[in-house]
Structures are given as C-alpha cells and as structure tokens.
Amino acid sequence: MGVSPFLDRLGEGPLLCDGAMGTMLYARGMPLDACFDVLNTSNPTLVQSIHAEYLSAGADLIETNTFGANRFKLAVHGLESRVREINVRGVKVAREARESSGRDVFVLGSVGPLGKYLAPLGAITAVEARAAFRDQAEGLLEGGVDAFILETFSDLEEIRLAVEAVRGVTDLPITAQMAFTEEGLTFTGRTAALVARALRGLPVQVIGANCSVGSSVLYDILEQMLPEAGGLPISIQPNAGLPSRAGERLIYLSSPVYMAEYALKMLEAGARIVGGCCGTTPDHIRAMRAVVDRHVPKEVRARRVAVAPPVREEAPALRTAAPPTTLARKLEAGEFIVTVELDPPRGHNIEKLVQGAKLLKERGVEILDINDGSLGRVRMSVLPTAILVREATGLDINMHFTCRDRNLMGIQADLLGAHAVGIRNILAIKGDPPRAGDYVNTTAIFDVNAIGLVRIIRGMNEGRDATGNPIGEPTSFTVGVGLNPAAEDPDREIQRLLRKVEAGARWAQTQPVYDLGAFDRFLSRAGKLPIPIIVGILPLHSYRHAEFLHNEVPGIQIPEPARARMREAGERALHAGVEMAQELLREVRRRYGGAYLMPSFGRFEVVAEVLDALR
C-alpha cells in the first residue's frame, strides 16, 4: 500500500468519526421504510446539510450516505440499476460538504451488509456477494473516497467477501467493523476475541465494532479485541443506547455527556477512532470532540483547523439553588429513612388517604411514598394525589413514576410538571403490566425501562431533555429505584441495580422482605454498594394473607417459619404480624439505610403500630 494521508493522520493521534445519518434523516421527516441512499441524487442538499452539521460539531471523518447502496438493498425500492450513480453521488455530496466547511477531514465510503443471508443459510452465493460489493466499491472509488469503512456486519464470511471485493479494485485503507449483541457476541455467535483475530488476518488497516448496542457493551468489546488486534488500530462507534420501539419510532436515550464519558474511557483503553452510530447526533459528536482533543498532541491540534462553534445560540440556563427535600437531606446525612406507602384511591375522594397520612405524621413519619398504578389497576393518577396529600399534610413526597403509561414525550412532560409543583423525589420503576390487573387488553407503552428513566431524570438535572435539547433551568430531582430480592434471576437483578446506580440512582428500595438473611445473601452479589438500601416491610394480617402474598403476588417470598407463625397465631394473627414487622424494622435499622412500610387494605393504624418499634 502506498502513502495514505488517512493512516498518517491516524498515526498522529486518535480521530473522531461522525454519528448517525439515518437518525438525522428520520428526524427531518423521512419515513423509516424509505430508501435513504437515493437521497444522494433526489435531495442532495438534505444529505449535505447533515454532513455539514457533523463537520461543525468537530468530526475528523464523515461517512458517505451509502450504507445500503448495494444491488440487493436497492432492489427493494426498484433501484438496483442505479448502484454506481447513487454511490458516486454519495461521495460527491460528502466532499462538497467538506469543501464548504474549509476543514481538513476525510471522507469514508460506507459499505454495509447485503441485507440477505449467504448460502447455505440463504440464497446468495459467494460469487454474487463479491460482485455486489465490487459494484458498490467501484462507485465509491469513482466518487473519490479517501478510505473505506465496512460496518455493522454480523457474519465474518460476508465481511471477508466485502474486503476481497474492495481490495480487488483499490489499495485504499479499509476499516472493518462488526456488530455485537448485548451478550458480547456477533449475531452468528462469535466472540469479540475471535472476531479480532479473524479481522486482523484480512487485508484491512483498522478493525472494530459498531451499532446494535450502546457504549458500555462496546467498551467491553473493545477490551476483548485489544489483545487480539495484532497492533491494528481499533474503531468503536456505539449506538446512543439500546433502542426502544414505540410503534414505528425508535427511541435512543444515551446523552451526549454519557457517550463522551465512554469515549474518553475507550480512548484511554486504546481505541484510535471513536464516533457514533444509530441514535447519535451532532450534539453527541460535539461532546466527544472535547475528550478526543485530550488525546491528540498539542502540536497536532495546532495544525488542524479549529472546529466551528455550535450553530444554535442559547441563553445560559438560570440556575437556582432549590433547597434539598427531606429525603435528599437524609440521604446526604446518612440518616435512617422511614417512608410509608400510600395507594391513590380508586375514585376521586382522597379524604381517607389524607386522614391516614395525618395519623402517620403524628407517629413521626416525614416521608410518604405515593404509588403509581400498582398491579396494573386504575386509580387516581399519581401526581395530583401527591400534590393533594402534600398540601393537606406538609409531608415530603416520594412519587413513584412508571414507564408503562407514558410515551417518551409524556414522561418528560409529567416530570417537568412534577418539578414545577415541587414534587422532586422520584422512584423510577418500570411498572406492572396491564395484564396483571383489571384491563388485560390495555396496551403498555414502555418507550424506556427503569434504567432509561433514571438517565432521563439525570439529563433533566443537567439541563437537557432525552435528545440533548436544553430545557432551560435544570431540575433538581432526587431519584431512587426499585429492587426485587425475589427475582427469578438474582444475578441479572443485581446487574440491573448496578446499571441504575451508574445511571444516577441515589437509593434503592425493595419489595417486601421477610428474611433478612436471604436478603443479605442476595445483596452480597453486588459487593459494597455506593447507595443506601431502603428495605420494604409489609405487615401480615392473617395466615391467609401470608399464603396469598407468598403464592400469588410476584416479587414476594415469605419463608415457611413466618407463615407457620401466622398459622399458629390463630385469632391473634394480626398481633403476630405486627410483632414480626417490628422485629424486622429494628433489625433493618441496625443494618440498612431505611425502611419502606406498606399498609395492606388501607390499614394505616397497623403501620403506625409497627412504627412504635422505633421509639
């Protein structure tokens, strides 16, 4: 291979690639099932404007809008005869954007998989695949690319054929990237180490991974590839988190700050190219620019053209110091926390709820949890319930907030409304599915899960919404998460807890616990946690109540000795249940950060009696 300015530049220091093209086209109104590649000819101004945004954000490398411009994918749209034209124009559009920017950057010819399986699993032969890749490579070469990037491949045999086809027409540098699942395997079951060994054996200059998963998984992939790369530079371009589908919409949640943090980790680990894939925007690339510059020698940075400032001009956010909530203050001070759960009423009258809350306040309770549609049943919505109870009692409110009933826009709208009226403690939970309750045919939304919800709230606390747009004054939420010690897969539950902590959770509170020894063993999987655990306590009312909870309510396990104690108590079962809850509360105070009491059947006086154990 002759002299390559691209490889020379890469030798000087790490490079920043651009982000998603499809995401940006979709945001500008293109339907998901449209042919994005043909826009190179039908609407080049639109494509060029997106390239320009990435250049303004600081990208060193921009990829052509040709990921699907092969004969098989274009045939779906009746465009298979226009492979050469679409690829040539894709390069021209990118080059024109570069020239307009005045920046010294490289144009990479993007080549994706064919979209059909190779034989023997599918009908595409090696000869046909190689010919399709060659057609595309010739068009990109004619357009004037500086290098090639083969990306999002899941089959090592297919990427080998693509490399052979490109190498058959040019000796320009090739970056070869594979896609991986959350389990760290390709979709054909290959490990990252095996992939790295296979790719380094091909005539390519850079290897790596992109798409399908977010930054944390691809960071792990990078660490596995590095020892097997044989000294080749590695490129890592994650999605902006895992996508959630809402109808035909794909929602990505990783913020620019979050992805920049991981880009820094990747560079420190040894990556030479970082960038973004699906869901990433110029805001993500702009955030990454700052961390890439830390790894580029000063004299090299001085030779490169300065990045243009962001196009958007925004007034600085006004920051006001909201006083901490009672819950936030106790968390900061490390005090033992006691909170009691209240279920919103089935109707619109909250008088019983208010009277119960006042009784609890007399017993020293300072914080109330307001549930959000537990068990998938219809009750008064959580926010007005929280407001009315707080106004009637003056108590601090921890508002449960589920992902089930709101789309991504509704989640953020309700959170902003809650903050505006002073509800600033949020327990971020996924929510029980509707099929668990009275409306089995009702659809659930779940645009995001609980981890995504915590990330949204953290973003709001940093002054931006889920897409990175400013919201003005940042919020000051204190966010906690749920924890299910009776989960069928306890290791997965612990891993999810750790991811919630990483996302920004300040505390976790559990489903009802009846065996602290078993709970200790469950938590030991996590090691030393950086956040307090608030242990759920639900007093038992009768032997029948105990059996029902144990056998019919997900997430609750009552050990045989406890159920036997209720059975033997007979008519004094409620008294026994209160005693057991008091014993548990005393022990929880010695070992954990707080207790979360749950009254059954609206019996607030029972919880009030349990609280006597703290006197």
* Topology classification of domain 336-614: TIM Barrel (3.20.20)
* Statement: residue 321 has pLDDT above 60: no
- Judged by DSSP in three states, 180 sits in coil
Distance between CA atoms of 263 and 260, rounded to whole angstroms? Answer: 5
Reported as a pLDDT band with limits 50, 70 and 90, residue 313 is: very low
* Statement: residue 246 has pLDDT above 50: no
Rounded average pLDDT over 344-373: 91
Q: What percent of the chain has pLDDT over 90?
A: 72
The lowest-confidence range among 36-50, 203-217, 371-385, 420-434 is 371-385
Run of H or E residues at 482:
strand 478-483
Reported as a pLDDT band with limits 50, 70 and 90, residue 310 is: very low
| Length of the chain, in residues | 615
8 Å CB contact between 132 and 150: no
Residue 304, pLDDT score: 56
Residue 120, pLDDT score: 85
Q: 0.85 exceeded by the pTM?
A: no
Q: Which amino acid, residue 549? A: L
Q: Is the bond leading into 256 cis (omega within 30 degrees of zero)?
A: no
The lowest-confidence range among 238-252, 354-368, 437-451, 551-565 is 238-252
Q: Which regions of the chain carry the CATH code 3.20.20.220?
A: 336-614
Rounded average pLDDT over 144-160: 97
Task: Sheet containing 147-153: give its strands across.
Answer: 15-16, 273-274, 234-237, 206-210, 174-178, 147-153, 106-111, 61-63
Residue 408, pLDDT score: 82
Backbone angles phi, psi at 568, to 5 degrees: -75, -20
> Taking the domain 5-303, which CATH number applies?
3.20.20.330
- 484, 494, 550 from 545: Cα distances, Å: 20, 29, 9
- 31, 270, 373, 483 from 287: Cα distances, Å: 28, 19, 38, 33
List pLDDT tens digits, range 503-530: 999 999 999 999 999 999 999 999 989 9
Taking the CA atoms of 502, 219, 279 and 24 in sequence, report the sign of the dihedral they define: positive
* Statement: residue 438 has pLDDT above 60: no
* Statement: residue 577 has pLDDT above 90: yes
Read out DSSP for 382-407?
HHHHHHHHHHHH--EEEEEEESSS--
Q: What is the dihedral of CA 412, 413, 414, 418, to 10 degrees?
A: 100
- Report which of 196, 190, 187 is spatially closest to residue 152, judged by C-alpha positions: 187
Residue 406, pLDDT score: 83
* Statement: residue 109 has pLDDT above 80: yes
* Statement: residue 610 has pLDDT above 90: yes
* Statement: residue 308 has pLDDT above 50: no
Distance between CA atoms of 47 and 69, rounded to whole angstroms? Answer: 14
Residue 241, pLDDT score: 76
* Statement: residue 307 has pLDDT above 50: no
Residue 182, pLDDT score: 85
Rounded average pLDDT over 370-378: 73
Residue 28, pLDDT score: 86
Structure tokens at 51: 């390239």
Rounded average pLDDT over 580-608: 94
Residue 457, pLDDT score: 94
For the chain, give me the number of helices (H) and strands (E)? Answer: 24, 18
* Statement: residue 600 has pLDDT above 90: no
Instruction: Give me the long-range contacts of 261-265 (CB less than 8 A, separation at least 24).
Output: 261/291, 262/215, 262/216, 262/219, 262/238, 263/215, 263/288, 263/291, 263/292, 264/291, 264/294, 265/219
Residue 2 burial by Cβ neighbours in a 10 Å radius (0-12, 13-18, 19+): exposed
Read out DSSP for 200-221?
HTSS-SEEEEESSS-HHHHHHH
Residue 436, pLDDT score: 46
Q: Which regions of the chain carry the CATH code 3.20.20.330?
A: 5-303
List pLDDT tens digits, range 528-560: 899 999 999 999 999 999 998 988 888 899 999
Contacts of 176 (CB under 8 A, 6+ apart): 150, 153, 159, 163, 199, 202, 204, 206, 207, 208
Rounded average pLDDT over 184-198: 93
Mean pLDDT across the chain = 89
